[in-house]
A and B are shown apart, each in its own frame.
Chain A
Amino acid sequence: MERHFIEVHDIGKQYGSGETVVQAVSFMDFFIDDGEFLSVMGQSGSGKSTLLSIIGGLNRPTKGTVYVDTLDIYGLSSEQKADFRSEYLGIIFQSFQLVPYLTVLENVKLPMAITGIRSGDQKARALKILERVGLGDKVNRLPDQLSGGEQERVAIARAIVNDPPILLADEPTGNLDSETAEDIMGLLKSLNEEGKTVIMVTHNSDMCHYSGRTIFMKDGRMDGSRPSGWAHLQQGFIPPSAQHTVTPSARRQPKFSKPPI
């Protein structure tokens, strides 16, 4: 069987038990290739964050398996899983999750604490990354002395400082104005162009056109997937579940031979 960089095999996730069980994700089955920029879209509660955390090895699915670089990530010991996260993943959360009493520089150095890099090198590397995200002149500020967009950049710098091949971003532009959001998306796009695989959760269709492919979720299930260019052409994508509202002109849009899923 042909292998893929990230393979999601028929995963399901239930929260709770008995009367209160929530089926957050079900029947998700797809691949992500190395170097892809994938968007995951869907309404609030559709299971996007759950899916992302499962792909990141942070949330054990109740069903199915996830392979990253052929590693069965939920088959790893907890020590191996910790190594997996620090080797492969950079994670940007829905809220920025910066440590408020550490400076920008210290926040970015945090992920290196467990990798065994010498502290002098840690500093040099953190400074270089901060320069890269455009914060070279603000390294000694505290997070609350920064704008939202700048805080987001710190979060991105922290996510990439260990040079992981995969970036997981949950609503990275969720609480930013549209101009700042475009800025941040440009940064993620350029990281993707440098070779990182980016998986981004969003419920803003404007953000999808930065990605190569968008998958749609509804009630925890895949509700179609399209190359993102197509979604962008639609200017406000109409997911397959609502396609009775698609206009005839929309149907004449170019068909992509075969979506990568």
Chain B
Amino acid sequence: MTYDAEKYRSKREKVLGVRRRGVSFGTLTVIVSVVILMGFGALVIPKSVAWWNGRHLEDAIYRLRGGEPWPGSIVSELGLVPGVRGVITDKDGTRLVITFDRTAADPSRFSPVFEKNRLNADLLNTKAHMNDMNGQEG
């Protein structure tokens, strides 16, 4: 069969790039990589920074022996103890969570505050503050 230059013209032109196509495969690869890296960075970098900053923090969780709500004043008073970074009570006020820097404080510093206020506080648990950050960002 003699050679027919027309038969595969469109293929030839595609190879030679005569017909313009949207984005080249190379460009597309670069774009996709950049997007993936940026997305990955956006997810990972803030978490890493937060983890680094929060790696010394610990939570001590208390409950009053009778199960009654915590008086609001205790929150601000505990906040004055050196090394304490945050104090919150949970929704119905029965749990008290003290976030503190473990290099600067420990639960023995909190007991005098409870005693002074005549509160029978039971320490339920202490745990690394960072565990909380996975689900609820800080």
State the A residues within 8 Å of B (CB): 2-5, 33-36, 69-71, 76, 79-80, 82-84, 87-88, 114, 165
Total number of A-B contacts with CB less than 8 angstroms?
A: 45
B65 lies within 8 A of chain A by Cβ: no
- Of all A-B residue pairs in the complex, the 10 with the closest CB atoms, nearest first, are A87-B11, A83-B15, A3-B3, A84-B15, A33-B1, A69-B8, A35-B1, A80-B15, A34-B1, A4-B3
Extra A-B contacts (15), CB below 8 Å, given A3-B5, A69-B8: A3-B3, A33-B2, A33-B3, A34-B1, A69-B12, A70-B5, A79-B25, A79-B26, A83-B15, A83-B17, A84-B15, A88-B8, A88-B15, A114-B25, A165-B11
- Asked whether A34 and B7 contact (CB < 8 A) given A79-B24, A79-B25, A79-B26, the answer is yes
Main secondary structure on A side of the interface with B: loop
Q: Which residues of the partner chain B approach A4 to less than 8 Å between Cβ atoms?
A: 3
Complex-state Cα separation, A102 to B114, whole angstroms: 65
Q: Chain B, interface size: which category?
A: 10 to 19
Pick from B2, B15, B24, B25: contact of A71, CB under 8 Å: B15
Contact A71 B1 (CB under 8 A): no
Instruction: For B21, give the chain A residue with the smallest CB separation.
Output: A116
Contact A69 B11 (CB under 8 A): yes
Contact A165 B8 (CB under 8 A): yes
Query: Of residues B2, B8, B12, which shows the largest number of chain A Cβ atoms within 10 Å of its Cβ?
Result: B8
Q: Which residues of the partner chain A approach B14 to less than 8 Å between Cβ atoms?
A: 83, 87
Complex-state Cα separation, A76 to B12, whole angstroms: 12
- Asked whether A80 and B16 contact (CB < 8 A) given A3-B3, A3-B5, A5-B3, the answer is yes
Q: Which residues of the partner chain B approach A69 to less than 8 Å between Cβ atoms?
A: 5, 8, 11-12
Contact A88 B1 (CB under 8 A): no
B115 lies within 8 A of chain A by Cβ: no
Contact B4 A34 (CB under 8 A): yes
